[in-house]
Amino acid sequence: MKLKKILPQFLTLLFIVLIFGFFTMNAQENMDTRGIEFGFGFLKQEASFDIQFSLIDYDGSKSYARAYLVGLLNTLLVSAIGIVLCTILGVVIGVARLSPNYLINRTASFYIEFFRNIPLLLQIFFWYFAALRALPMPEDASLLLGTSYMTIKGLYTPAPIWNNFDVFLISLIISLVIIFFFNRYAKRKQEEAGIQYPKFLISLGIFIIIPALTFVFGGVDLQWSFPELKQLAKTSFTYEGGVGIPPELIALTLALTLYTATFIAENVRAGIQGIGKGQKEAAASIGLTPGQVLKLVIMPQALRIIIPPTTNQYLNLTKNSSLAAAIAYPDLVLVFAGTAMMQTGRAIEIVAITMATYLTISLSISVFMNWYNKSIAIKEK
């Protein structure tokens, strides 16, 4: 009986140790023959390559560690934008999918069936190589909404120029803290005395008024710098001032959003459909208004069904953003596992760092979501 328990475990362990041992030994030997030494010292060396699009200060004289950071930030940027947009689109499409209106219903299900059955990479290629290439050159672009230019070289929008931005930021934090305490107070009042405050309106008011006050008293000032056409050479034009969003980022965000939104829409639909009809009827019969039914009865229950699979989709989106390498958006994979590896030749270290980074992002999102999930789970007595 004892043997029956120990033997499989021992064999598993032996198998793992043998495989790892074999790999490490070979790696050691291979690196010895090529004269490479394992280590992360190369991170401090000068990177000496340029990156097209960077959120932080970067040029060729910075270190590989800095290049890694640029790549990581670009990955996080596209993931964050994608997550926000695909949530909005996914919820809208998911609700539309349940609409009694035939046209809306059909359009939503057409959208879902269409976009989820085409490989993401193909969609990225389509937007980048086919759709965005059809845009005009900078000199021919026309104004969009009076402020921006959509060209083959990207989207140029006005950039905000702040004075005393830190004061504004602090006021934002203060208003969030006040909202937090106000909501706690309102909840206690409701539980103790049954008094209901218009929580949402008051919170919104606080969120707008306090930061707005800093413009009057805090010396905060906001100006916009608009993009203007500038001639570089006879036939080469570009825009100066404003923010230039590269077409790679636009194509990637579009594809990721449209693709992931289909899955989130299905989650939302399943979540709302998963709530029994009896819940709705019971809530209506105790005199709640339709809005209250949705807010207090349906949504809290539906969210429990929606959140776990949606978290998975967020993770997928973050991981899928690595497809950026295919269209040369300088994300982690392209900058670090691509260019930096070509230059240093340190395959093992760089692939290991890249994988560890993605693992960390994945695990931390899932830990956070597990915590959130637990906090909204049904508390059974």
Partner 1 sequence: MSKINLLKPNRENINLFLALGVLFFSLGIIDFYLNNFYEKNITGFLPGFISFFTPLIFGMIGLHFIRIEFSGIKKLDELNKNINTSNFNAALSFCIILLLIFSIPPLLNWFIFDANIAGDTKEACTGGGACWVYIKVWFNRFMYGMYPNAEQWRVNATFIIVLVLMGLGYFFPLRFKKYLTLYYVIFLPIISFLLIYYLISGGEFGLEWVETGAWGGLSLTFIVSFFSLIFCFPIGMMLALGRRSDLPVVKYSSLTFIEFWRGVPLITVLFMSAVMFPMFLPDGTYVDKLIRVIAAIVLFEAAYTAEVIRGGLQALPRGQYDAAKSLGMGYWRLHLLVILPQALKLVIPGIANTFLALVKDTPLIFVVGLLELAGMLGLAKTNPKWLGFSMEGYVFAGIIFWIICYSMSKYSYNLELKYKTDR
Q: Which residues bind partner 1 (CB under 8 A)?
A: 5, 8-9, 12-13, 16, 22-23, 26-27, 29-31, 33, 100-104, 107, 113-114, 116-123, 125-126, 129-131, 133-134, 319-320, 322-323, 325-326, 333, 337, 341, 347-348, 351, 354-355, 358-359, 362-363
C-alpha distances in Å from residue 215, one per residue of 15, 147, 159, 172, 203: 66, 23, 18, 12, 20
CA nearest neighbour of 316 among 349, 353, 267, 352: 267
319 CB-near residues (< 8 Å, 6+ apart): 358, 362
Place of tokens 């707008």: 208
Considering the complex, state which of residue 117 and residue 235 has its C-beta at the smaller distance from partner 1. 117
- Kindly state the smallest distance separating residue 42's Cβ from partner 1, in Å: 16
Q: Please identify, using beta-carbon distances, which residue of 130 and 144 lies nearer to partner 1.
A: 130
Q: In 3-state terms, what secondary structure has residue 145?
A: coil
Query: Do residues 116 and 256 make contact, with C-beta atoms less than 8 angstroms apart?
Result: no
Length of the chain: 381
Min separation Cβ 130 and partner 1, Å: 4
Q: How far is the CB of 333 from partner 1 (least distance, A)?
A: 6
* Among the listed residues 191, 168, 172, 190, the one whose alpha carbon sits nearest the alpha carbon of residue 180: 172
Closest to 261 in 3D by CA, of 116, 370, 107: 116
Please give the structure tokens belonging to residue 188: 């206690």
Closest contact distance (angstroms) between CB of 26 and partner 1 is 5
User: Going by C-beta distance under 8 Å and a sequence separation of 6 or more, which residues neighbour residue 8?
Assistant: none
- Which of residues 252 and 333 has its CB atom nearest to partner 1 in the complex? 333
Q: How far is the CB of 318 from partner 1 (least distance, A)?
A: 8
> What minimum distance in Å lies between the beta carbon of 276 and partner 1?
18
Nearer to partner 1, 164 or 344 (CB): 344
Which positions ≥6 away from 264 have C-beta within 8 Å? 86, 87, 89, 90, 91, 94, 310, 313
